[in-house]
Amino acid sequence: MEILTLAQLEDDRGRRLLLQAVLDGALVAFPTDTLYGIGGNALDGQLKRKLDLFKGDRNRAPYALLTSSLEKMLAMIAPLPSARERALSRLLPGPWTFVCRSAAAAPPPAVGPDSRIGIRVPAVTWLAAMMAAGLPPLLASSLNRSGGLPCQDPGKAAAEFPEIELLIDGGPLPPSKGSTVVDLSAAEVKLLRAGDAVFDPGMFA
């Protein structure tokens, strides 16, 4: 397991190591604006199998797709009503996951059998900078086995999860309920999971 700190991602060597690891299909653990995540290159057809083996549940819901901007998100989902798009522009980046109908540009591993996709634009400066420099979108889940509690301590993660190939150490994160998951794929906006962000259906009207 290789470990990089956020400080090391501020120099070219650290950025190159992360980019190459992701492009090579590595399973990467990393801090977000809610929980530590585990995932990798969403364009790599083998990455989903690695995630399935790590999580221990091949019948789980599709993994989330992490990207760096609303513009990139909108390119991977079917068109939304203008009111919903305006709401996204106010809420993102932030601790939300939105379930939408996928567009042709969405990475196939992130798309569920019903053609929907769960997508995030987290408020994470280093991730946005890396994606601007060529890091592909990430297919990801919370850093835990299925049914277990998310791990918020990179030291514990390194000891408990030997499958991690690269760990981005952002220090221990505070307790979090995870991202708030909202379904935008149908006529009615629905809250699928309460999280750190406060949901009000009126914000999408």
Domain map (residue ranges) of the chain: 2-204
Q: What is the pLDDT of residue 138?
A: 98
Residues of the chain whose pLDDT is less than 70? Answer: 58-60
For the chain, the residue count is 205
CATH class of 2-204: alpha beta
Q: What is the pLDDT of residue 59?
A: 63
Q: What is the pLDDT of residue 58?
A: 62
Q: What is the pLDDT of residue 88?
A: 97
Q: What is the pLDDT of residue 57?
A: 77
